[in-house]
Amino acid sequence: MSIIKEKTEQSTLAENEVKEMYLNGLHWGYSPTSRNPKMEPYLYGVRNGVEIFDLEKTKNSFDLAKEFAKKLGKDKKIILFVGTKKEAKDLTERAAKELKMPFVKERWIGGTLTNFKQIKGRIDHLNDLKKKRETGELDKYTKKERLQIERKIEKMEIYFGGLAENLKFLPSAVLVVDSKHEKITVKEANQTKIPVVALLNSDCDPSGVNYPVPGNDNSRTSISYFLSEFAKSYKEGIILAEQESATADKPAKEQPLVINH
């Protein structure tokens, strides 16, 4: 009975997850005319001229992505969050900051991954200028020179601000919202052999994505759901690592002394 009960509970949980994805609008794709043929296996049908995702298949794909997130969390790996389309900008920043991860919400700078040494130099320069501003080291310059430096900092903040604090070396994974919109990011990740997780709509090519999550990448509600669920799985991995560490550090239970007569 316990096995049957467990299977029933798992089935109910899966149904609830599919329902939650539906309520968050992950099932909506684009029109059939914009479909990438490689996305066809994830589609259920067409409703009112719009393609509908098979959410059971989306769930299966998302489960794999969340397991990957949990492993990354357990190993305390760095993930670079990328979402530059207007619907994803602030949501990407919020999810990344929640996990203290680097992010890109404005234009992707070419070479961020493939020419990381140069990009790291620009990040370091930005951090150096900010530090000098905080410590008053810029006061030695004229008012005009300080204004020019301030403008330089503001401009660099737009493109490198999300990377400045938490990107000390190449990330262990890249997460993107809309792999078609972020195709340069995906290409660079592939070139540097960094795994890619992506929320991708029916117009995307999933072939360059290691963990594709087929679904609506054009709605704030669905994007928010995708990012929050991924972040939750990463946190579960952190908790799991802490629990295992606590168990390993716990002293073995002292065995009673047995004296044989």
* Confidence label for 251 from pLDDT (cuts 50, 70 and 90): low
First to last CA, the chain: 49
* More reliable by pLDDT, 245 or 16: 16
d(CA 244, CA 125): 39
Nearest 5°: CA angle at 197, between 193 and 199?
145
Give residue-wise pLDDT tens across range 125-176.
999 999 988 888 888 888 899 899 989 999 999 999 999 989 999 999 999 9
Q: Is the pLDDT at 230 greater than 90, yes or no? A: yes
Q: What is the DSSP letter of 85?
A: S
Q: Answer yes or no: are the C-beta atoms of 156 and 109 closer than 8 Å.
A: no
Q: In the prediction, which pLDDT does 210 show? A: 98
What is the per-residue pLDDT across 189-228, written as a single tens digit (0 to 9) for each?
A: 999 999 999 999 999 999 999 999 999 999 999 999 999 9
The model's confidence at residue 247, banded by pLDDT at 50, 70 and 90, is confident
Contact predicate 205/178, CB 8 Å: no
pLDDT tens by residue, 51-90: 999 999 999 999 999 999 999 999 999 999 999 999 999 9
Rounded Cα distance between 25 and 31, Å, is 16
pLDDT at residue 18, rounded to an integer: 94
Three-state SS at 53:
strand
10 CB-near residues (< 8 Å, 6+ apart) = none
Contact 173, 195 (CB under 8 A): yes
Indicate whether 9 pLDDT > 60. Answer: no
The answer, yes or no, to whether residue 113 has pLDDT greater than 90, is yes
Asked if the model's pLDDT at residue 253 lies above 70, the reply is: no
For 107, phi then psi, to 5°, come to -65, 135
- Specify the pairing of strand 50-53 against strand 43-47: antiparallel
Q: Is the pLDDT of residue 246 over 90?
A: no
pLDDT of 6 > 60? The answer is no
Q: Which residues, listed in sequence order, are joined to residue 213 by a DSSP beta bridge?
A: 199
CA dist 195 and 22 (Å) reads 27
Task: Give the confidence band of 248 by pLDDT, cuts at 50, 70, 90.
Answer: confident
Q: Look at residue 117 in the predicted model and tell me its pLDDT.
A: 94
Residue 213: enclosing H or E segment and its boundaries?
Answer: strand 211-214
- 250: pLDDT strictly greater than 80: no
What's the predicted TM-score (pTM) here? 0.87
Q: Supply the pLDDT for residue 249.
A: 66
Burial state string for 95-107 with b = 16 or more CB within 10 A and e = fewer than 16: bbeebebbbbbee
* Interatomic CA distance for residues 159 and 75, integer angstroms: 28
* Average pLDDT of every residue of the chain: 91
What value does the mean pLDDT take over residues 21-45? Answer: 96
State yes or no: pLDDT of 93 exceeds 60: yes
Instruction: Name the amino acid, one letter, at 194.
Output: I
Dihedrals phi, psi of 251, to nearest 5 degrees: -65, 145
pLDDT at 1 over 80: no
